[in-house]
Amino acid sequence: MTQALTPDGVMNGNEPPVVEPVVVEPVVVAEQPAAIAEPTEPTVQVGAAAVTEAPPTREPVRLIGGPPPGPATLVADDACAWFGTRLVLEGVDLVMPAGMVTALIGPSGCGKSTFLRMLNRMHELVPSAAFAGHIRLDGDDIYDAKIRAQDVRKRIGMVFQKPNPFPAMSIRENVLAGLKLARVKCSDKDGLVEQSLIRAGLWREVKDRLSSPGGALSGGQQQRLCIARSLAVQPNVLLMDEPCSALDPTSTGRVEETIAELRDQVTIVIVTHNMQQAQRVSDFCAFFLAGENEPGRVVEQGPTEVMFSSPVDPRTLAYVQGRFG
């Protein structure tokens, strides 16, 4: 099976665009390998899944007029947030390094999602929301008066808690929706659709029905379609607000694989309530906590391993061990 699935095997076929399962099945005579090649449950070996999903057969598709590609570092500097007169988040200093996965953990109501929404200026869409401090994307303050919110959001994409594909659009149109909305051009739209869906780990499931409506997919597929849609505009940072909380374990596994594969292409900041998930997917962790009638603060931050094995603050230890929250 491994031989047949190597990129060389595909390349030896004829043209690069041929998708590998189609080539594989006639070649492999035995039934068993074919059955293995069609796993629906999450495979434990992320590496193996990466081989079946995304053979490195083609050059990445480039956009015209989009943000410069590649992951970027996001830095929060003394970030505070208000809703009306209520201070909900105070003095958050956090570095989200380029090409890494940073997980924001903490109990409900501690301001994780608010912080996440501040990172791509979605926070200001809420009436009465206010903000202080600085968020820097590769050094540039995204709240600078000269910078438009929509230009920030082009560079910092977002995946929401509830999958929100455009239901009237086809799968293909959903993936390409961002191009028109963000006024970015692409000469190879088919290639971009394929690349984005492969990166989101959805290509194999939908490649034969790209024109069917996006709203007809299952919840987990919809969420991966939303990830593909965000990736199509090739942002530098991808924010994920509890992307798996509405999904079953199988779909969650697929999304986690997707996160692992995206790591070197885009900086990821993920809010999660699932401690195991934070441990599995993230390189860095920040623990948010809000006292009673107090704004949320970052109690502790650091490499995920350290945060889960030997945190400094006893509250962090209690939380990551599931003893409160």
C-beta separation of 143 from 122 below 8 A: no
Per CB under 8 A, the segment of 53-61, 81-89, 120-128, 253-261 that binds other proteins is 120-128
User: Rounded to the nearest whole angstrom, what is the least distance from the CB of residue 231 to other proteins in the complex?
Assistant: 11
Contact range with other proteins by CB under 8 A, out of 15-23, 47-55, 174-182, 193-201? 174-182
Residues 103 and 243 sit within 8 Å (Cβ to Cβ): no
Strand order in the sheet with 74-83: 140-141, 129-137, 74-83, 86-96, 296-303, 284-290, 101-105, 267-271, 237-241, 156-159
Nearer to other proteins, 123 or 254 (CB): 123
Of positions 26, 56, 68, 127, contacts other proteins by CB under 8 A: 127
Residue with tokens 């939908």, as numbered in its chain: 206
Q: Which two tokens stand for residue 152?
A: 């920030």
Considering only 10, 61, 182, 197, the residue that binds other proteins (CB under 8 A) is 182
Beta carbon nearer to other proteins, 126 or 318: 126
Residues 140-159 contacting other proteins, CB under 8 A? 150-151, 153-154, 157-158
State the binding string over 233-262 for other proteins (x if CB under 8 A, else -): x-----------------------------
The footprint of other proteins (CB under 8 A) covers 120, 122, 125, 127, 150-151, 153-154, 157-158, 160, 162, 164-168, 177-178, 180-182, 226, 229-230, 233
